[in-house]
Amino acid sequence: MEMVDPIDLSGFKTVSLYERKSKVELETFSRPPFKGMTFREFMDSLPDILGARDLKAFSKAVVEARRNGRPFMVGMGAHLIKVGLNPVIIHLMEQGIITSISQNGACIIHDFELAASGRTSEDVQTALGDGSFGNARETGEFLNECAKEAKRDGIGFGEAVGRAIFKGDFPYKDYSIAYNCYKLKIPLTVHVAIGTDIVHIHPSASGEAIGAATFTDFRRFCTLVSRLEGGVYANIGSAVLMPEVFLKALTLVRNLGYKVERIVTANFDFIRQYRPLTNVVQRPTSCGGAGYSFTGHHEIMIPLFAAMLIEQL
């Protein structure tokens, strides 16, 4: 067995703590909360470190973009609706902060069901056993008819859904994102992957109509992305579909000669995933701008983020 002597430490070089560069300083620390503090005081009390620093920086970027007349686009997944955040999203639309909404197909399902009945999200595990999962009659009939109307009228799926809810007699439509987009004249695009939504298993579904409606919305989304220079894009709760749609739209508009380089992006989700991180946060901002990633429960993070935006207006 080889005999190994302990290394000689006598030549180890040191530097003074007071001269060494440090990444954390007391000036960046939090301040303790106190009873009766305002939200602005709460914001200012957050540490200027990592996630808190980034959330403050991202909210500031959104506010500055809107003050300069630049867009704040939001791409979203359905979990945002299922955790009760429609009122927050709608309020940001009403305040002129969110300038467009882009969704996957599941979003309009939950959005319609809320407008029609004030409830949504079935018990999949129970319903799957007897084959009743996804068989809500009104949901299938309404959304599949909207797709056909969109194809007939040459409009996007999002506009068709918003228009139908706007004109229809739905007792809870004030809680609908699609309805409010139509009422406020805010673009809503819906991006469907055929076979992923419950309405696709209904006999009223038309692949031709759904494809035409969602393709129109993809092209409308590309128009929105072509205007994104100096603006902000947030992907909230979409792990695959919206990050892929955003990346394809971005390369298309750059290919067509639109300058979309200096942008700020962010991804919000309750776990970190590869596709949103690369397709939203990192790759699109490699030419300029900044990208942020926030991990946490939507029902906590999004109201917090929205309050920070409102406070800075």
What's the pLDDT tens digit per position in 98-112? 999 999 999 999 999
What amino acid is encoded at 271 in this protein?
I
Residue 133: its pLDDT value, please?
A: 80
**For range 136-162, the mean pLDDT:** 97
Residue 163: its pLDDT value, please?
A: 99
Query: Tens digits of per-residue pLDDT, 201-251?
Result: 999 999 999 999 999 999 999 999 999 999 999 999 999 999 999 999 999
Distance CA 44, CA 125 (A): 44
CA 185 to each of CA 94, 156, 190, 227, 228: distance values in angstroms, whole numbers, following the listed order: 10, 14, 15, 17, 18
Looking at residue 136, the DSSP 8-state letter turns out to be -
Which residues, including other chains, have CB under 8 Å from residue 34's CB and lie 6 or more apart?
none
In which element (H, E) is residue 292 found? Answer: strand 289-295
Query: Tens digits of per-residue pLDDT, 246-259?
Result: 999 999 999 999 99
Residue 131: its pLDDT value, please?
A: 81
The chain-wide mean pLDDT, for the chain, equals 96
Residue 124: its pLDDT value, please?
A: 80
CA terminus-to-terminus distance, the chain: 72
228 token code pair = 């994104």
For the ranges 125-134, 144-153, 303-312, the lowest mean pLDDT is seen at 125-134
Which residues, including other chains, have CB under 8 Å from residue 11's CB and lie 6 or more apart?
none
- Ordered structural domains, the chain, with CATH: 51-312 (3.40.50.10690)
Q: Residue 130: pLDDT above 90? A: no
